[in-house]
């Protein structure tokens, strides 16, 4: 009998560490071991951008589907994640065009991001000017705030009922009209909101059709983790990084999300406490630090890189330039210490990605107020965590990791 496993992927930086690569590799390992894996997204939303490149060169940036999708692994979109109908359908079409048939299990209680959440997010960030918080402008934080601080809650399950979501959309429109007119410099009434509402309705209808085809299914937590569950390896794919965590990041430049193991362990502890006690945590960092968006970035400096022509993160209106800097041992230890308060007693692993992007193969690293260049294997000796394994990826397709 094959025993069940749980693996939690967590970024140690400001995001963009290589969590997609790690998730894809863990899915491949589970399949090679004869286990049936399921990717579980446990925080964030469609603002994620997790790049996976196969050994054959197929490449996709995942936002609404798990990073194991190219291997045929389904995704569970937990209630901790926001759900964006238009973004899901756009990515679904792109995957189909690439010959991939994804499968997405969506928790019925997922908060739905509307075009009004996106508009408010962008209007507020634009109004902040030089004091921007670093949002990517996709409405994630606005959606969470609306669900937590108002009664205007729109759930994934509501998308099956036009009368219900139509009523809620009208209330959400009125809510954001007041907020945008009073809190920002943007004129809410300049936009054709009726047309956007109709487009939202078309998205809902398309999702209902896909639900009937069992491509995108509404489920409950018990369906995924309960006694009848057939999954043998739960691969929890984190979004963003610990340094952006709502509890531990440097406010106000944080996300409205737990980017640590918090949500993943909560899902397991509620449903499979024995599995929660033996889950393994995989901490991911690039061979250098990155930050895309406004906010403090200690030791920020241009890092000389090679083999980075396919970098996913590009200049955009809301996040600006993709920023780089040498690794900070202090920040890595801080991120590890934050998560240690949650994941006490679990086996920990370290994965360093993008080693092929450093011309000399040495890690640029700030330690004891000195900038040093160290061999990759020396990094774990500077970190205040005992790792069961330390692994290094030397390409976007995971070269350098143990063979599957």
Q: Which residues are catalytic?
A: 16, 50
The answer to the question of whether 20 is labelled as a binding residue is yes
The answer to the question of whether 49 is labelled as a binding residue is yes
The answer to the question of whether 51 is labelled as a binding residue is yes
The answer to the question of whether 81 is labelled as a binding residue is no
- Residue 39: CB partners within 8 Å, gap ≥ 6? 23, 27, 66, 67, 68, 69, 73, 74, 75, 76, 235, 236, 237
The answer to the question of whether 11 is labelled as a binding residue is no
| Two structure tokens written together for 286 | 């690039």
The answer to the question of whether 384 is labelled as a binding residue is no
The answer to the question of whether 16 is labelled as a binding residue is yes
The answer to the question of whether 360 is labelled as a binding residue is no
The answer to the question of whether 305 is labelled as a binding residue is no
State how far the Cα of 201 lies from the Cα of 6, in Å rounded to an integer.
37
Q: Which of 146, 135, 136, 149 is nearest to 112 (CA)?
A: 146
CA torsion sign for 163, 164, 165, 169 is positive
Per the listing, tokens 């994804």 go with 102
Per the listing, tokens 């360093």 go with 352
Q: Within a 10 A sphere around the Cβ of 344, how many other Cβ atoms? A: 7
The answer to the question of whether 21 is labelled as a binding residue is yes
Sheet with 37-41: list strands edge to edge. Answer: 216-219, 104-107, 75-77, 37-41, 233-241, 5-11, 280-286, 347-353, 389-392
The answer to the question of whether 17 is labelled as a binding residue is yes
Q: Which of 279, 283, 260 is nearest to 351 (CA)?
A: 283
Give, to the nearest 10 degrees, the angle between helix 140-149 and helix 115-128.
110
Q: How does strand 50-53 pair with strand 59-62?
A: antiparallel
State how far the Cα of 45 lies from the Cα of 84, in Å rounded to an integer.
8
The answer to the question of whether 18 is labelled as a binding residue is yes
| Two structure tokens written together for 116 | 């009004």
The answer to the question of whether 19 is labelled as a binding residue is yes
Annotated binding site for IMP: 16-19, 240, 255
Annotated binding site: 15-21, 49-51, 240, 255, 354-356
Annotated binding site for GTP: 15-21, 49-51, 354-356
Annotated binding site for Mg(2+): 16, 49
């Amino acid at each position: 009998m094959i025993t069940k496993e749980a693996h939690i992927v967590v970024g140690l930086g400001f995001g963009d560490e290589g969590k997609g690569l790690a998730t894809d590799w863990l899915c491949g390992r589970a399949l090679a071991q004869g286990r049936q894996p399921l990717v579980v997204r446990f925080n964030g939303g469609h603002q994620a951008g997790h790049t996976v490149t196969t050994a054959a060169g197929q490449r996709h940036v995942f936002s609404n589907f798990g990073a194991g999708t190219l291997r045929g692994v389904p995704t569970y979109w937990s209630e901790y994640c926001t759900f964006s109908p238009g973004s899901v359908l756009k990515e679904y079409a792109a995957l189909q065009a690439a010959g991939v048939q994804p499968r997405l299990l969506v928790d019925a209680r997922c908060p739905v991001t509307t075009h009004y959440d996106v508009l408010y997010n962008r209007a507020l960030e634009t109004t902040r000017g030089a004091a921007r918080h670093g949002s990517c402008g996709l409405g994630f934080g606005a959606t969470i705030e609306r669900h937590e601080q108002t009664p205007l809650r729109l759930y994934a399950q509501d998308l099956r009922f036009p009368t219900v979501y139509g009523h809620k959309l009208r209330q959400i429109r009125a809510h954001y009209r007041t907020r945008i007119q009073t809190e920002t410099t943007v004129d809410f009434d300049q936009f054709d909101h009726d047309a956007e509402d109709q487009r939202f309705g078309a998205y809902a209808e398309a999702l209902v059709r896909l639900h009937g085809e069992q491509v995108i299914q509404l489920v409950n937590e018990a369906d995924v983790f309960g006694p009848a569950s057939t999954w043998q390896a739960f691969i929890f794919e984190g979004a963003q990084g610990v340094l952006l965590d709502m509890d531990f990041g440097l406010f106000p430049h944080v996300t409205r999300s737990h980017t640590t193991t918090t949500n993943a362990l909560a899902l397991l502890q509620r449903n499979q406490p024995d599995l929660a006690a033996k889950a393994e945590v995989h901490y991911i960092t690039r061979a250098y630090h990155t930050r895309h968006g406004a906010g403090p970035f200690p030791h920020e400096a241009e890092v000389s890189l090679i083999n980075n022509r396919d970098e996913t993160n590009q200049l955009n209106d809301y996040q600006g330039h993709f920023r780089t800097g040498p690794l900070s041992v202090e920040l890595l230890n801080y991120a590890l210490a934050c998560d240690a308060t949650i994941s006490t007693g679990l086996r920990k692993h370290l994965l360093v990605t993008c080693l092929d992007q450093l011309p000399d193969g040495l890690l640029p690293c700030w330690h004891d107020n000195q900038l040093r260049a160290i061999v990759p294997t020396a990094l774990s000796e500077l970190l205040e965590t005992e790792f069961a394994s330390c692994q290094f990826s030397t390409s976007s397709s995971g070269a350098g990791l143990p063979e599957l």
